Amino acid sequence: MAPATESNLSWPVRIVLGAGLPALSLFFLYLEHITHIEFLLHVAAIPLEILLGATLVERYLAGKERETKRRQLMLIKSYLFRSRMRNLFISNFDALEEPRITMEMIRAASLEDLKALRTKVDGLRYRSPEALEPVVLEYVNSHDAFHDFMDWGIANHFESIFQDMIHLLHFVQDVKLFKKHNPDKLFMEEASRNPKQMAKVEGILRTGICSFLDYMVEVKASQPEVFEELINDYEFSSQMKR
């Protein structure tokens, strides 16, 4: 997931550098051609050297900016998975019938085991539509987290984050509207009667689990201490709910 790149230079400056400096070099080359003053060859090289230097500096700054944004994204994902959406994922795992996924399994798994588990999620099954109701309500409770993450994605030019969060916010709004007009009914009872809506719900929940497992693979490889802390947090929260 990479941010869209943006130049660190304004458009007027880029036009001057990209067109003006080469034109200036050509002008000095023309003068050398008609005057035969060799010194003008050295002068003609100066604008091109400036252009090359500016290009290298811009690329360096762009690389530093991308790296900073990647670090920020990792920290934000840690906050979301460990705190703001912890109950969402606990509920999602609890509702699963196949494959069964527990924090104990994730802790004991190697990186290759986690990647293999990630591939099994494509064929996941849930215990029942009723078992999904608490999961769906946790998505509603996470509305502000999705919205904040979307705002961050927009501000930092992560197009994929923006698209994913918009999709989730549409789903959350669907659930909110249903509960507003049917406060005593289960959303999943209605969704189970509509194959398209049921496929949408399962697709969103499947994507959530895939995102969680992708993050666990990433953090186990790069920050094993954070991996352990997250598992401990989830186990503690699960015990409190019993």
Q: What element of type H or E holds 126? A: strand 125-126
Report if pTM > 0.85.
no
Q: What's residue 91's pLDDT? A: 94
Q: 177 Cβ partners below 8 Å, 6+ apart?
A: none
Distances from the Cα of 58 to the Cα of 44, 62, 156, angstroms: 22, 6, 18
pLDDT confidence band for 14 (50 / 70 / 90)? low
In this model, does residue 62 exceed pLDDT 80? no
Q: Locate the domains of the chain by residue range.
A: 11-66, 85-241
In tens, the pLDDT along 127-182 reads 998 999 999 999 999 999 999 999 999 998 889 999 999 999 999 999 999 999 99
Looking at residue 196, its pLDDT comes to 92
The angle at the Cα of 89, spanning 210 to 188, to the nearest 5 degrees, equals 95
Average of per-residue pLDDT across 92-113: 91
Q: What is the overall mean pLDDT for the chain?
A: 85
Nearest to 102 by CA among 88, 116, 92: 92
Q: How far apart are CA 187 and CA 197, in angstroms?
A: 10
For 216-235, give one letter per residue: b (16+ CB within 10 A) or e: bbebbeeeeeebeebbeebe
Longest dimension (CA), the chain: 92
The candidate with the shortest Cα–Cα distance to 219, out of 89, 137, 107, 130, is 107
DSSP letter for each residue of 68-98: HHHHHHHHHHHHIIIIITHHHHHHHHHHEEE
pLDDT of res. 71: 83
Separation of alpha carbons 52 and 146, rounded Å: 42
Which pLDDT score is estimated for 5? Answer: 46
pLDDT at residue 25 tops 90: no
DSSP-derived 3-state class of residue 4: coil
In the predicted model, what is the mean pLDDT of residues 93-98?
92
Q: What is the pLDDT of residues 194-241, one digit of tens each?
A: 999 999 999 999 999 999 999 999 999 999 999 999 999 998 888 776
Question: What is the structure's pLDDT at 75?
Answer: 87
DSSP 8-class letter at 38:
T
Assign 15 a pLDDT band (cuts: 50, 70, 90): low
CA-to-CA distance for 233 and 28, rounded, in angstroms?
68
pLDDT at 72: 85
CA dist 82 and 73 (Å) reads 14
Task: Provide the pLDDT for residue 99.
Answer: 87
Lowest mean pLDDT: which of 19-23, 31-35, 145-149, 184-188?
Answer: 19-23
